[in-house]
A = this chain, B = another copy of it.
């Protein structure tokens, strides 16, 4: 039954069985009367005001059915780490295309696309970039996220569908290596940034970096200033986990040279 006070009637979350999907499933409840969750994998049974629909995003007709009656989408589905190109093409390229076709068909008005910092992972850790900096993907995964950003730009320019592409940093309970002191994105800040992305009066096509207010930063969010996102958390609370040390990495340690970190090692055969 519809609770009139909720902003949306039906909000779709894809990738609901994934790491972030599970976290978000609970947190986004205030934003809609019905939360529709979807994944290719099995999910927990539907709770109150929930709809659970298992769906392979590479199946176009299934995606069209999934989108029926949906008002807004948080697209966290697809493959979220490095994998074979074919798997990524199916889930992230064909899948995201299917999703946007369905979004267009069903008149969905606002989309948040979970993009990734791995679209720009081949910038150096001494670079400071913004949303207009040319992309430097660091993996097949990163390339598929570049595709999603270009695709959603097209659907904005051509059809007027508004998307926030959120280049998520490291959204984990806490940083587990020194790199994540820079890329840390607390769950609370992620939820707040999603809230801003959904409820700002107009977002057009925005590319934003998902990060908390960490002391060191590689990314300038100036072109997302209209979102009104203000981080509440910072990785400084975990500073004790990474005490000062003179053990500098080797000069040719690409995980320290480049922003993408360990992702650059995931296809070692190339080097």
A residues sitting closer than 8 Å to B (CB atoms) are: 7-8, 31, 71-72, 85-86, 89, 93-94, 97, 101, 104, 109-110, 122, 124-128, 131-132, 134-139, 142-143, 146-147, 150-151, 153-154, 157-160, 162, 178-179, 181-182, 195, 198-204, 206, 214-218, 220, 222-223, 225-230, 236, 244-246, 248-249, 251, 256-257, 264, 267, 270-271
Contact = CB atoms under 8 A, between A and B. Distances in A.
Given A199-B244, A256-B202, A122 B154 contact: yes
Nearest to A151: B143
A74 to B, nearest CB: 13
9 contacts: A86-B94, A104-B270, A125-B202, A137-B154, A138-B157, A139-B154, A162-B248, A198-B244, A199-B246
Contacts of A249: 201-202
B216 A225 contact: yes
Closest 8 CB pairs of A and B: A216-B228, A215-B228, A126-B204, A122-B157, A7-B246, A199-B244, A146-B150, A8-B246
Contact of A201 (B132, B256, B264): B256
Nearest to A228: B216
B147 A146 contact: yes
Contacts of A251: 160
A201 B178 contact: yes
Nearest to A97: B85
A161 B248 CA distance: 12
Contacts of A257: 202
Contact of A146 (B72, B146, B216): B146
A182 B226 CA distance: 8
Given A225-B128, A244-B31, A256-B201, A267 B110 contact: no
Contacts of A223: 128
Contacts of A146: 146-147, 150
A195 B158 contact: no
A35 to B, nearest CB: 14
B128 A150 contact: no
Contact of A158 (B138, B246, B248): B138
Contacts of A93: 89, 93, 147
Give the residue among A206, A215, A264 with the most B Cβ atoms within 10 A.
A215
B226 A216 contact: yes
B158 A136 contact: no
A225 B216 CA distance: 6
A104 B217 CA distance: 30
Contacts of A228: 181-182, 214-216
